[in-house]
């Protein structure tokens, strides 16, 4: 199975880059499944049903969210009826939507998508480790499902690394999102699980994590609130990670970052290679 995950789409610049690039990426990389983090797609905060439809129409199979899941309120009545939209699993009981779901992949294969929120420097929530383990209890990697994808939406790299090792050998991959800065620690862990602390964002990197620079800099230097944050509108860098998963074992055989456009150095995976 060939899978691509695109990190947080930030504002118009990020979502436009993703929507315009996805058809080409699906074709050139011969992708079986595409996951996109869309929690910042609507003016930097949340996502709307209309934007979801645009992302699906471009070639995404599933959109995952994060701590900004509900910032665009119109998504709340929409999410229960949209099975392709995943919010964090460890939100309180009774929260609309789903935090884990199984999807069919061409060729009769199946993939389980799970997202959890970290707790370090984030809102207090249920334990993401216990929540992830609970989602896996009903599924066998390489058995009932051919792949298990886990997004750890969190601030602290230590918490992301810890859950990566906690799930090593039990899931196909654990990828971090939320900090909007791509890390260079992509690797296959000893048990065969693909890992990266943060995939990065799809957005304008001439910014402060995707936002126009002036207001964040002013707040850091003056410690006073002012204007609202607004997404930067320059050329976006598309940041993601590509991986190949063994259909029989469910473990990762190859992974590599993908970066295209904008200010960051480009990176392109070489399908068919092994790590």
Asked if 237 contacts 263 with a C-beta cutoff of 8 angstroms, the reply is yes
Q: Is 68 a catalytic residue?
A: yes
Q: What span, in angstroms and rounded, lies between the C-alpha atoms of 58 and 157?
A: 31
Asked if 257 contacts 7 with a C-beta cutoff of 8 angstroms, the reply is no
Q: What span, in angstroms and rounded, lies between the C-alpha atoms of 204 and 261?
A: 10
Q: Which residues contact 235 (CB under 8 A, 6 or more apart)?
A: 13, 204, 261, 262, 263
Active-site option among 68, 139, 178, 186: 68
Question: Which residue, 219, 197, 201, 217, is CA-closest to 209?
Answer: 201
* Order of strands across the sheet that contains 62-64: 85-86, 62-64, 33-37, 2-6, 238-245, 252-260
Q: Mind telling me the catalytic residues?
A: 68
């Amino acid at each position: 199975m060939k899978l691509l995950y695109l990190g947080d789409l930030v504002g118009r610049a990020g979502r436009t880059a993703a929507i315009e690039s996805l058809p080409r990426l699906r074709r050139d990389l011969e992708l079986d499944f595409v996951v996109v983090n869309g929690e910042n797609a609507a003016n930097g905060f949340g996502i709307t049903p209309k934007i979801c439809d645009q992302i699906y129409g471009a070639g995404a199979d599933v959109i995952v969210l994060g701590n900004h899941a509900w910032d665009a309120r119109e998504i709340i009545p929409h999410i229960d009826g949209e099975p392709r939209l995943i919010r964090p699993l460890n939100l309180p009981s009774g929260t609309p939507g789903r935090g884990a779901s199984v999807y069919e992949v061409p060729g009769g294969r199946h993939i389980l998508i799970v997202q959890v929120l970290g707790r370090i420097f984030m809102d207090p929530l249920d334990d993401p480790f216990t929540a992830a383990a609970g989602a896996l209890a009903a599924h066998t990697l390489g058995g009932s499902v051919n792949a298990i994808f886990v997004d750890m939406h969190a601030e602290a790299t230590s918490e992301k690394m810890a859950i990566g090792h906690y799930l090593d050998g039990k899931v196909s991959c654990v990828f971090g999102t939320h900090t909007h800065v791509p890390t260079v620690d992509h690797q296959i862990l000893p048990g065969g699980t693909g890992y990266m602390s943060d995939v990065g964002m799809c957005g304008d990197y001439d910014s402060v994590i995707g936002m126009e620079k002036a207001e964040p800099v002013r707040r850091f230097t003056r410690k006073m609130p002012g204007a609202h944050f607004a997404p930067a509108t320059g050329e976006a860098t598309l940041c993601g990670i590509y991986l190949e998963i063994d259909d029989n074992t469910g473990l990762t055989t190859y992974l590599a970052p993908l970066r295209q456009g904008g200010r960051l150095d480009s990176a392109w995976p070489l399908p068919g290679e092994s790590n």
